[in-house]
Structure 1
Amino acid sequence: MSFKAFATDYIKAQSPGWKNPKHRQQWTNTLTTYAYPVIGDLPIDSLDQSHILKILRPIWNGKTETANRIRSRIENILDAAKVEGLRTGENPARWRANLKHVLPKRADVAPVKNHPAMPYADVPQFMAELRIKNSTSARALEFTVLTAVRTSATIGAVWDEFDFDAKLWTVPAERADVKITDGKPRFVPLCKRALEILDSFRERTDDSPYVFPGGKLRYPLSNMAMLNLLHDMRSDFTVHGFRSSFKDWASECTRADNIVSEMALFHVVKDETERAYRRGVLLEKRRKLMRDWEGFCAQPPAKRDGVVTPFRKKERA
């Protein structure tokens, strides 16, 4: 059997279990672009390390993340082929004790770059300018800053995720954080201004299921819409960077426990003690923190010198 034929069957068999429906298309697209031209027609039992390197070397330095995803996908496919008796021997696409000795480390050729973040002291001025703009992307960006979520959480939001009585937003795991592996949703306590933004969209007459609809009927806002608006206003920063602005503000201008702001950002809590602490979701503590963040964002820009949010008395767990 050829690699392409087996890979096609593998994707068809595995995709019903993938939580993100886009994964099937991503697998197919990357293999079609990079792998099939090199090994697609070759017998799957004939592939060795030289074939894998012929795929990876041309893109490893310039498209490192893409190259590593392709490597991982080929590794999974070849592992499955071995289980089905179509291959023997070691997997030539495996990184550990194999490709790591002939390819540079990903961190060396594609170091992690932090998203440029607006200094938190500048956020009130920015929010004041943002509030006077009248567009879906402006309200979506304001909502994103106030809730400290990722772009994907906002643009994919649908009305069924919101409990207006509880003032709570339930974000599915696949949109909350790419690193979430437990499959559990995350919860966002909604401040007053966030609820006002939602209310302003509830009276729409279109039939889009999305809170922040895009230009095409029944499609969400583009994932570039907020970034384009932000770059028109402040070209040096990213939407994701506001999460860092929020974290810096919470660390420097409040006495909220670190775990409270970490949970507000949906970060994975690794420490055993903190994991036990987080079981209560810390929802009320997070509500207070997000109300304080809303108040900070709404402060008149002229009052933003120095520490603008008074320290709270530290609450006991």
Structure 2
Amino acid sequence: MHKLDSLDSPAARATELLILTACRSTEVCRAEWVEFDFKARIWTIPAARMKAGREHRVPLTEAMIQVLKQQEGKHARYVFLNKWRTGPLPGNAIGRVLYELQAGEVVPHGFRSSFRTWAADYANYPREVCEMALAHTLESKVEAAYNRADLLEKRRQLMADWADFIQASGVARAA
């Protein structure tokens, strides 16, 4: 995160948001301003942009909002613009940032794995809360049919704890 802070680009900010949200690259790179409700502190990713084809709500933490505020006013529709300023960042933009930072074998999807490993090892949240934060579906079709909750408030605290962990680890951007 410190190295990302040294880069002044939409792709670097997208990488920060990807780490903080544990979302997929394309979900972050194609984010649109209309998806964000800053008053309710929720990012609603439409079903059409989700791997599982279901809408996903991401609770926004203060750290996420700080990243987004750096992008305000740069484009009316897209949060992270491509270098031609004609549309959203391509899906491989975050991988290119990691390559530029000489991050070794680190890949964007690995941050989702890091989040899930941290949640299993250090966080005290039920498995379904952690899996829902990653927009994973419940394994049991019967359970999924009966449990339609998205556990937003529990995930809100989980994501705040994740941001705190990143900051406490000395890897977060200086405020």
> TM-score, with normalisation over the residues of structure 2?
0.89
RMSD (Å) for aligned C-alpha atoms? 1.9
Alignment partner for residue 210 of structure 1, among 49, 69, 78?
78
Using the alignment, how far apart are the partners of 2:48 and 2:20 within structure 1? 21
Count residues in correspondence. 170
Give matches, 1:56-67, under 5 Å: none
Give matches, 1:235-254, under 5 Å: 235-254=104-123
Structure 2: give runs of 5+ residues left out of the alignment.
none
Alignment partner for residue 167 of structure 1, among 35, 41, 58?
41
CA contact (8 A) 1:128 1:298 kept: no
Task: Provide the secondary structure at the position in 2 that maps to 1:235.
Answer: coil
Summarize the Cα distance change of 1:255–1:276 in structure 2 as closer, same or farther, 3 Å threshold: farther
Summarize the Cα distance change of 1:299–1:274 in structure 2 as closer, same or farther, 3 Å threshold: farther
2:99 alignment counterpart: 231
Q: What's the CA shift for 1:270?
A: 2.0
Deviations 1:243-294 (A, max 9, x none): 0000000000011001011001111212256426742210110000000000
Structure 1 or 2: more helix by fraction:
1
**Greater Rg by CA:** 1
Task: Provide the secondary structure at the position in 2 that maps to 1:169.
Answer: strand
Summarize the Cα distance change of 1:262–1:151 in structure 2 as closer, same or farther, 3 Å threshold: same
Q: Does 1:176 align with 2:53?
A: no
Using the alignment, how far apart are the partners of 1:153 and 1:134 within structure 2? 21
Question: Hey, which bits of structure 1, 4+ residues long, moved more than 6 A?
Answer: none
> TM-score, with normalisation over the residues of structure 1?
0.51
Task: Provide the secondary structure at the position in 2 that maps to 1:280.
Answer: coil
1:220 alignment counterpart: 88
Using the alignment, how far apart are the partners of 1:130 and 1:151 within structure 2? 16
AA at the equivalent of 2:90: S
Task: Provide the secondary structure at the position in 1 that maps to 2:98.
Answer: helix
2:70 alignment counterpart: 200
Give matches, 1:69-88, under 5 Å: none
CA contact (8 A) 1:259 1:274 kept: no
Higher relative contact order (CA 8 A, sep 6+): 2
Summarize the Cα distance change of 1:244–1:278 in structure 2 as closer, same or farther, 3 Å threshold: farther
Using the alignment, how far apart are the partners of 1:195 and 1:171 within structure 2? 16
Q: Percent identity?
A: 38
2:58 alignment counterpart: 188
